């Protein structure tokens, strides 16, 4: 059903970005403008977008058809007809809802966090642009338009990570993010192309591809499924394309909260869900995705247990939770995976914002042990942080429990006991390192007097709202065995997710197991860290603390070798071989000419000799030819 409103969801943040950009240029070139102007434009636009989304949500809930909006013909060459068209079906609106809502809250948070920064206006311009790109991504009707949003969020991520660009480290982190993402994008584009040709060029919009999926051969489907997932690996920081995510923490905390917790990194899972018609028909790739998710989850969790920078702990935690989401969608449980995306957005954003609040209060200190040494009293932040930590550890009735448990049950039901086991172990580790973080930063005794420190309302207000979400969002998908309506599952029924159907006994047993595992993790953390002497920080040695040396391996394997190859190409192949051959030809001419010139030695006798020789030869020749007559 056509609607004219979908485009406004995208255009309004875009407009906000352009306005802020224009005002910012005015601000630096001519007269300074007050921060309030940028702040108001920056925070009002996401809220309006959220209202539009909410409107469409209610309409869909009332039983309306999926919304579409055709804008214009983007490209029409041969059989390739790409339209600039937006699709507002239940999945898209689901994503758009929490993206705009959480995005709005983080924009408010950013007003307080970025106060006093030189590039305040520029920040909000980029931030709104990011939101607009993410909305293009979720509302796209075909993978090419999705890719426009996909790359758009990548660029904004680059711009925002390297926001304080005078420090080279930030820019390097931004570069790393962009380039590693690009490797993923390479896979994505190839996946789209393979799929398009495999479907015999019948159409490129999601609807067309879904209708024609049976044309493609199984091998090509597996190939394109794999390639598309490579894109997701890059965007959602799974093994082996995850190395950019911890470095991305160099950017200001609001963007870590928005981009690297709630929105951009979830694009990969959204993409897999969007292509559900593909992945449902090639279960091998789905299994592969689930395994990659499991590996990433446990790998990240292990590294997180020894990290000392608060944002890096949260970054690895994000990677780990994203692994869970991929286990979900990989095994075909699209709605469960997406539900975890939803709950995770709330508590992870809240955790990041809380961390940002602490960082600000302690003058940009990010090492958890040093934070504890100079702790100040921050009641609201502590409380919301505790809620977030409990939620992520999977303790009922907070939301994290429902979403994580659904995924673990899914793995168990499909017979993937290895994945289930890994998931349980990761849950244990998650509880452990999150509570390690909480205890060290907020609880462990220190020698200082705790003074109360005032925190800006713009920082605490979003935290409180998100806390409510973190606590209660679980009830949106309350499982049937408890008598709930499983709202999210029914909402996303179009995706034909695999349904959970196991005996109640099994389900209770599994739930009990996951709670037990989480409590065990909390207990171990409590024993070790609740009374930790924070003046004795943990060592930074060892395999785990050095993140398994993956960065170093990548550097040696890829970066150094490409640099050497580059030098080789320029200096040896180009200059010595190719150009050398050319110059050899030139020098050959010149030396040949010089050798010829030796004849011209200006000595008359030689010239006389040449003349004599020439005339003799000619005469002999004429004589001999005339003899014949």
Partner 1 sequence: MASLTGYATVSMILFSLGAIGVVSRRNVFIIYMSIELMLNGINLFLVTFARYHFNMDGQILSIMVIAIAAAEAAIFLSVIILLFKTKKSLDTNVFTELKQETE
Partner 2 sequence: MGAADILSFIIFLPAVVAFILMISTTKIEDVRNIAFITTIITLILVMKIYLNFEPKAEMQFVTNIEWISSYGINYYIGVDGFSLTILMLIAILIPTSYLLLWEGRTKGYWLNMLLIQTGVTGTLLSLDIILFYFFWETMLLPVFLIIGIFGSGNKVFSTIKVTIYTMAGSLLMFVAILYLGVSFFNEYGHWSFQYNDLTTLTHLGYNEKLFLFLAFATAFAIKIPIFPFHTWITGTYSDAPTGGVFLLSSIMAKLGVYAVVRFMIPFFPDIFVEFSSWFVFIGVFGMIYFGIAALMQDDIKKMFAYSSASHLSLIAAGVFSLNSYGINGALYLIIAHAIATGGLFLLIGLLHEQTGFKTIKDLGGIAKKAPIFTFMFAIMLFSNVGLPGTNGFVSELLIIFGIYEFNHTMGYISAVTVLVAASFMLWMFQRAILQERVGAPLQMRDLRIKEIVGLVPWVIIIFLMGIYPDPFIDKFEPTVTHYINDILKIGAIK
Residues that bind partner 2 (CB under 8 A): 25, 28-29, 72-78, 80, 84, 144, 147-148, 150-152, 155, 158, 162, 165-166, 168, 171-172, 174-175, 178-179, 182-183, 185-186, 189-190, 193-194, 196-197, 562-563, 565-567, 569-570, 574-575, 578-579, 582
Question: What sign results for the dihedral spanned by CA atoms 47, 48, 49, 51?
Answer: positive
Please name the residues in contact with 179: beta carbons below 8 A apart, sequence gap of 6 or more.
none
Residue from 501, 527, 594, 625 touching partner 1 (CB under 8 A): that is 594
- Residue 591 binds which entry of partner 2, partner 1, none, with Cβ cut-offs from 5 to 8 Å by kind? none
Instruction: Please write down the HEC assignment for all residues of 464-479.
Output: HHHHHHHHHHHHHHCC
- Residue 172 binds which entry of partner 2, partner 1, none, with Cβ cut-offs from 5 to 8 Å by kind? partner 2
Q: Residue 507 CB: number of other CB atoms within 10 A? A: 20
The CA distance from 153 to 556, in Å, is 29
Q: Residue 578 Cβ, how far from partner 2 at the closest point, in Å?
A: 5
Q: Residue 622 Cβ, how far from partner 1 at the closest point, in Å?
A: 17
Residue from 505, 597, 624, 627 touching partner 1 (CB under 8 A): that is 597
- Residue 612 binds which entry of partner 1, partner 2, none, with Cβ cut-offs from 5 to 8 Å by kind? partner 1
Residue from 609, 614, 619, 621 touching partner 1 (CB under 8 A): that is 609
Q: Tell me, what DSSP letter sits at residue 492? A: T
Q: If binding is defined by CB under 8 A, does position 77 make contact with partner 1?
A: no
Q: How many helices (H) and strands (E) does the chain have?
A: 26, 2
Residue from 600, 625, 627, 628 touching partner 1 (CB under 8 A): that is 600
CA angle 271, 81, 134 (to 5 degrees): 30
- The CA-to-CA distance between both ends of the chain, in Å, stands at 104
Give the nearer residue to partner 1 in terms of CB position, either 80 or 611: 611
- Residue 76 binds which entry of partner 2, partner 1, none, with Cβ cut-offs from 5 to 8 Å by kind? partner 2
Give the nearer residue to partner 2 in terms of CB position, either 240 or 421: 240
Give the nearer residue to partner 2 in terms of CB position, either 176 or 404: 176
Please name the residues in contact with 96: beta carbons below 8 A apart, sequence gap of 6 or more.
9, 53, 88, 135, 138, 139
Count of positions (residues) in the chain: 629
Alpha helices (H) along 439-503: 457-472, 487-491
Q: Residue 277 Cβ, how far from partner 2 at the closest point, in Å?
A: 22
Q: Residue 201 Cβ, how far from partner 2 at the closest point, in Å?
A: 9
Distances (CA, A) of 552 to 247, 297, 556, 579: 13, 21, 6, 36
Give the nearer residue to partner 1 in terms of CB position, either 58 or 606: 606
Residue from 71, 543, 612, 620 touching partner 1 (CB under 8 A): that is 612
- Contact window for partner 1 (CB under 8 A) among 15-23, 550-558, 575-583, 600-608: 600-608
Q: Residue 77 Cβ, how far from partner 1 at the closest point, in Å?
A: 59
Beta bridge mates, 45: none
My answer on whether omega of the bond before 240 falls inside 30° of 0, hence cis, is yes
Residue from 75, 583, 608, 620 touching partner 1 (CB under 8 A): that is 608
Q: Residue 576 Cβ, how far from partner 1 at the closest point, in Å?
A: 24
DSSP string, 504-570: HHHHHHHHHHHHHHHHHHHHHHHHHHTT--TTSPPP--STTTTGGGHHHHHIIIIIIHHHHHHHIII
Q: Residue 154 Cβ, how far from partner 1 at the closest point, in Å?
A: 58
The CA distance from 249 to 160, in Å, is 11
CA angle 52, 58, 60 (to 5 degrees): 105
- Residue 555 binds which entry of partner 2, partner 1, none, with Cβ cut-offs from 5 to 8 Å by kind? none
Give the nearer residue to partner 2 in terms of CB position, either 65 or 579: 579
- Contact window for partner 1 (CB under 8 A) among 98-106, 168-176, 252-260, 598-606: 598-606
Give the nearer residue to partner 1 in terms of CB position, either 585 or 596: 596
Residues in contact with partner 1 by CB under 8 A are: 594, 597-598, 600-605, 608-609, 612
């Amino acid at each position: 059903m056509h609607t004219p409103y979908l485009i406004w969801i995208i255009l309004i943040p875009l407009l906000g970005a352009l306005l802020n950009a224009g005002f910012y240029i005015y601000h630096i070139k001519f007269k300074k403008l007050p921060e309030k102007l940028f702040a108001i434009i920056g925070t009002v636009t996401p809220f309006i977008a959220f209202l539009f989304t909410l409107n469409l949500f209610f309409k869909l809930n009332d039983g309306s058809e999926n919304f579409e909006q055709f804008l214009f013909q983007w490209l029409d060459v041969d059989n390739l007809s790409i339209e600039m068209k937006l699709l507002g079906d239940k999945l898209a609106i689901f994503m758009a809802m929490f993206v705009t809502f959480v995005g709005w809250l983080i924009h408010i948070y950013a007003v307080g966090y970025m106060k006093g920064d030189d590039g305040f206006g520029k920040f909000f311009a980029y931030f709104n642009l990011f939101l607009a790109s993410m909305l293009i991504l979720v509302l796209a009707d075909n993978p090419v338009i999705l890719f426009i949003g996909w790359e758009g969020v990548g660029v904004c991520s680059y711009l925002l990570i390297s926001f304080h660009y005078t420090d080279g480290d930030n820019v390097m982190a931004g570069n790393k993010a962009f380039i590693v993402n690009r490797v993923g994008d390479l896979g994505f584009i190839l996946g789209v192309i393979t799929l398009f040709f495999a479907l015999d060029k019948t159409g490129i919009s999601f609807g067309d591809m879904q209708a024609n999926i049976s044309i493609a051969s199984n091998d090509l489907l597996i190939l394109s499924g794999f390639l598309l997932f490579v894109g997701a690996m890059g965007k959602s920081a799974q093994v082996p394309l995850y190395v950019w995510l911890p470095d991305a923490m160099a950017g200001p905390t609001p963007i870590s909260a928005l981009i690297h917790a709630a929105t951009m990194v979830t694009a990969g899972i959204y993409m897999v869900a969007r292509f559900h018609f593909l992945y449902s028909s090639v279960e091998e790739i789905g299994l592969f995705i689930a395994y990659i998710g499991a590996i990433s989850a446990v790998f990240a969790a292990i590294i997180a247990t020894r990290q000392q920078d608060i944002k890096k702990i949260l970054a690895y935690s994000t990677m780990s939770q994203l692994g869970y989401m991929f286990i979900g969608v990989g095994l075909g449980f699209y709605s469960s995976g997406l539900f975890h995306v939803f709950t995770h957005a709330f508590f992870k954003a809240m955790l990041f914002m809380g961390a940002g609040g602490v960082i600000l209060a302690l003058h940009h200190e990010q090492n958890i042990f040093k934070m504890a040494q100079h702790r100040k009293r921050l009641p609201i932040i502590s409380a919301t942080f505790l809620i977030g930590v409990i939620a992520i550890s999977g303790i009922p009735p907070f939301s994290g429990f429902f979403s994580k448990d659904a995924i673990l049950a899914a793995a168990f039901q499909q017979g993937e006991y290895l994945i289930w086991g890994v998931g349980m172990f990761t849950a244990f580790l998650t509880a452990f390192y999150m509570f390690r973080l909480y205890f060290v930063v907020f609880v462990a005794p220190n020698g200082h007097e705790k003074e109360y420190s005032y925190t800006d309302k713009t920082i605490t207000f979003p935290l409180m709202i998100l806390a409510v979400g973190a606590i209660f969002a679980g009830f949106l998908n309350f499982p049937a065995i408890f008598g709930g309506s499983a709202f999210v599952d029914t909402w996303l029924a179009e995706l034909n997710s695999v349904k959970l159907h196991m005996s109640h006994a099994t389900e209770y047993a599994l739930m009990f197991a996951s709670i037990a595992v989480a409590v065990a993790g909390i207990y171990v953390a409590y024993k070790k860290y609740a009374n930790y002497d924070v003046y004795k920080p943990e060592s930074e040695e060892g395999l785990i603390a050095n993140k398994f040396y993956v960065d170093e391996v990548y550097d040696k394997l890829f970066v150094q070798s490409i640099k050497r190859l580059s030098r080789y190409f320029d200096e040896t192949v180009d200059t010595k071989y190719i150009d050398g051959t050319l110059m050899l030809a030139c020098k050959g001419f010149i030396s040949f000419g010089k050798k010829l010139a030796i004849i011209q030695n200006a000595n008359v006798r030689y010239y006389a000799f040449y003349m004599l020789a020439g005339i003799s030869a000619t005469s002999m020749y004429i004589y001999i030819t005339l003899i014949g007559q």
